[in-house]
Structure 1
Amino acid sequence: MAPKANKAVDRTRWPYRMRDLCERTGLDRQTIHFYITKQLVPEGFKTGRNMAYYGEEHLERLRLVLELKNERFLPLDTIRAVLNGDDDGFTPEQRSLLSEVKGRVSDVLGPLEPRPDGSPRERVRVSELVERYAITAAELTELDGLGLLNLVATDAEPHLPADDLWLVELWHDLRGAGFTRERGFEVADLALYADTIRGLFQAELRTLTPRLARLPADEVAELFRKGLPLINAFLTRFHQAKARDFFRSLD
């Protein structure tokens, strides 16, 4: 927890202001504050409501977050788990199996690693997204913070991997369908669905991994390849059925 405000500042311990962090990382003030609120970076030494000082640990943590995002393509929620040392609970044997399966399901999930020649995946500039889909940079940052997409920083401007473009298109369509800011709808409303699916997926891993660990990796990959579309169809139809049952109950 950050020290209380109005204390004298030891500038050898807290040498940086926000502008210094921005200059040394290439991040803007809004993004750094966002990382602090998402508990990716600790708070600084506060000397007032809108003033704080920061130490080397803040600079190192910001650089680590950027490395995990831009080089390993990890979303922010995964980065937070890595930084907090959260244990996934898998045995060494289970982790070995999952690593083998990983190489066999890219045809279903898309590329899981950078290209073999080291070239970047296809990306779209944020300025293009803002112009094409009438989405704001702040909304993109919020979607990134929810772990729904992964903005990648570059020397010029942030980019979005083409794999994540579907989410921007969906948000654009939701706005077009009437879920507008004027009616009170914001990116944060997607957190309900993101958190639910995230929890569901973790429960799936805990439930299914011990059973699948008894099978060869090829069989596990084939079950995953065939089962994932069926489970996705179930979730869609069951969600629709729950809405139907609710409105029926109003008669």
Structure 2
Amino acid sequence: MRISDLSRLSGTPVGTIKYYLREGLLPPGRPLGATLTLYGEEHVQRLRLIRALTSRGGLSIAATRDVLAAIDQPLDPLATLGVVHYALPTPVDAAEADAVDEQSLRVDELLAAMGWEVSPESPHRRALAASLMDLSRLGMEYGTEDLLPYAELAAAAARLDLDRLENIEDRLRLAEHAAIVVLLLEPVLAVLRRLAQEDESRRRTAWARTTDGAGPRPDPHPADGR
């Protein structure tokens, strides 16, 4: 297909496609002459992935290039996940560094309590510390014991993530799926949590309305879990 067809099928402007080609995000097409280059379905799929990584995943062009390089030259699953993880934006204001460092001990305690093996260089250590700092400043202190139930849920989600990658034998497909699971499933999990919070809030409100303060209150979560 010509670049105009590629633009139409992928929903990407021609100018943007040419920019991705210059930046090395999109592999070159097959030249058939001085002014004609042909592209295939793999280019359509790559453009959709680039758009997902940049728009949904929030990655910069440079970070997207790193992730795509890991996909094109697949490493082992752990290394591929590392590339994707470290590409995620985890900004920490330099002016807040000392306050973040104070929370880092809490992060270390949590990791030790969970028995998690996490690189000392992981940017997510400081990202978690920064989030705990923000909560603390708002009067919401989360100690290790408070965080453990959330960490257990995260561990269960991580096992589900890795289970989906385990049976993929093709290394290129594995790397692509790793990027999708890490970057694009995360917003899904966040929205699922909000939906669950809305449901839980409605159930608790309805539960409170069915009582008048006399006698035992009915259980908002019966034995069937609903």
TM-score of the aligned structures, taking structure 2 as reference length:
0.44
**Higher gyration radius (CA):** 2
TM-score, normalised on structure 1? 0.40
